[in-house]
Amino acid sequence: MILFHWGEVPLEWCDQRLIGTAAADGDYADIYSSAWIAHLRPKLPDECLRLGLQDLDAAVLQNAAPRRISQLASRQAYELGCPGIYYRSRYGHDLENWAIFEPFPIHPRGSKEIHEGDESLQKALENLGLRLRRK
C-alpha cells in the first residue's frame, strides 16, 4: 500500500498526528558550527576517506548522503554527554531541527490536533512542495 505519492499527503495523515511544543534543557551540539566541525574533523578522517570525501565541512554534514557522516557526528555528541544535536535544515537554514537523545530532558508544554487549515501544517507542506490529497 502506497501512502504517499510524490507531492501529495493523504488528508487522513492528519488524523493520527499531533503538533506539540516542549522546552528542552541542556547544551545541544550545533553540529554545523565551526567549533563542532573543528572537533569532528580529527575524529572522522578515516571514515571520510572510506566514503571518498576529501575533507569534512558543513556541506558534507548537511548533505543527505552519505548519511554515515551525520550519524557519526551525532554519535560524537552523544558520547560527549550532549542531550542532543541542533542543526539547520537542508531545505533552508531558517528551519531548525533538533534531535534529542534518550532519555529525553524535555518538558511538554502542550499539544493539539492537526487540522487541514493549520497554519504550521500549510507552511510545512508549502516548504516541501507538497499538498494534501483528498479522497
How do residues 80-115 score in pLDDT, each as one tens digit? 999 999 999 888 888 889 999 998 878 999 999 998
CB atoms within 10 A of CB 31: 23
pTM here is 0.73
Q: Which of 22, 108, 35, 21 is nearest to 77 (CA)?
A: 35
Cell numbers for 53:
570525501
Outline where the chain has alpha helix (H). Answer: 34-40, 45-50, 58-62, 67-79, 119-128
d(CA 112, CA 133): 21
Confidence of residue 66 (pLDDT cuts 50, 70, 90): confident
CB 28 within 8 A of CB 96: no
d(CA 115, CA 29): 33
How do residues 35-63 score in pLDDT, each as one tens digit? 999 999 999 999 999 999 989 999 999 88
Which residues 6+ apart lie within 8 Å of 57 measured at CB? 37
